[in-house]
Amino acid sequence: MLPERLQKKIDLRKDNNSLRALRLPQNLIDFSSNDYLGFSKLISDAKIHLEEHSILNGATGSRLLSGHSALFEKTEQQIAGFHNAEAALLFNSGYDANLGLLSAILMRGDVVFYDEWSHASIRDGITMGYAKAIKFKHNNLDHLEQLLVKFKGTAECYIVTESVFSMDGDQPDLNQIVNLSKAYNANLIIDEAHAIGVFGNKGEGLIQDLGLETQVFARVVTYGKAMGGHGAAILGSVGLKEFLINFSRPFIYTTAMPPHSLLAIGSAYNILQNNKGINCLEKLQNNIKAFKREVARLRLDKLFIESSSAIQSCIVPGNNRVKKASEFLGEKGYDVRPILSPTVPEGKERLRFCIHSFNSKVEITQVLQHLATFVSHGKQL
């Protein structure tokens, strides 16, 4: 049995209709996964190289012990080259990367400013560090500057935000954030998890698309979303990589990624650089535009948060109501997941539509027509 205090927390989730549970795939049309480019479904060339590299099933240890290999160095060089970075350091997941970066670099006496809607991994990494943490209003750079003024010249400062936010799909003004970081001598860290494979000529991400990569202290890129694989990398200077190898506890004390994951990452980058990857990216961007046109045509735009990313969120206040909306779409054959409070603030519950390169125009039209029917019939939306 659970201790009473733990059981009470579970009971409260049940009372609020916010209890999380694992759910098996139901063979529905995918509008929920982060596999934006469909790369997880592509036959990669990773398998071809398994025997060539005499690959073991596991890495056998952390990279500082027995887990390091020439394949790691080759993959990190490929990542750094693609993203025009001095160096790259691989981590087992985006969550590990944010924890590993922020917990290591944030020292006593430092100040870190972070967007109030930052991902849980950013918040947890900041909590594990020793810096004074100050949140600024979501994408409100005037508020950020008001806070920066107070600490200019008195502390080592960091600014942490995302280039595409995972729940709303919206973006900050990255040019203005870069200007603020330079004006106030702050180190800028950008999580590009939902921008990689979506923005840029070859899916390089928003920072690179804007030509800002040399003005950012660190970028976090992940491989479990548009890249269709697993793991993450921190992009930065050679000095930052050396520091993390020595002081990042999630890196030091974790078994290294298995070699087949490294080959899959390399394969994903190879695809991005060839015509197949470019075609997938073009299809994705066209589908995002088609989705937004249908939202406007069906007069659903007031329900949706403005976004030019693959994440399109429809606000449906209340856990009960948003669950019913998701169930209704599921009955019609479409997998659109509800995002419940407390994951998002109460009253900001939403259906989170994820657009993919492989979604057809018919599927996009039909899923939104079903949503419009649900709305017009007043099913507690």
Mean pLDDT by 10 residues, the chain (381 residues): 95 93 92 95 58 68 95 97 98 98 98 97 97 98 97 93 96 98 97 97 97 97 95 98 98 94 93 92 98 97 96 96 96 97 93 98 98 80 42
Burial class (CB in 10 A: 0-12, 13-18, 19+), 1: exposed
> pLDDT at position 110, please?
97
Residue 30: both structure tokens together? 């995918």
Task: Indicate the DSSP class of residue 127.
Answer: H
Predicted local distance difference test score (pLDDT) of residue 376? 86
Amino acid making up residue 139:
N
Quick one: pLDDT at residue 51?
55
Number of H helices, E strands in the chain: 13, 12
Give the helix/strand (H/E) hosting 148.
Answer: helix 141-151
Give the three-class secondary structure for 312: strand
Q: How far apart are CA 96 and CA 83, in angstroms?
A: 20
Distance, CA of 234 to CA of 126 (rounded, Å) = 16
CB 309 within 8 A of CB 195: yes
Burial class (CB in 10 A: 0-12, 13-18, 19+), 18: middle
Predicted structure pTM score: 0.94
- Is-contact 173 206, C-beta < 8 A? no
pLDDT of residue 381: 42
Distance of CA 28 to the CA centre of its chain: 23
Which distant-in-sequence residues (6+ apart) come within 8 Å of 75 by Cβ? Answer: 90, 262, 265, 266
Which residue is listed with tokens 């190879």?
270
pLDDT value, residue 96? 98
57 φ/ψ sector (left φ>0, alpha ψ -120 to 50, else beta)? alpha
- Locus of tokens 């793991």: 231
pLDDT of residue 321: 93
User: Burial, 157: exposed, middle or buried (Cβ in 10 Å; 0-12, 13-18, 19+)?
Assistant: buried
**221 bridge partner residues:** 233
Instruction: Show Cβ contacts of residue 376 under 8 Å, excluding neighbours closer than 6 positions.
Output: none
CB 205 within 8 A of CB 218: no
CB of 336 within 8 A of CB of 311? no
Strand ranges of the sheet holding 311-315, from the earlier edge strand across to the other edge: 311-315, 350-354, 337-339
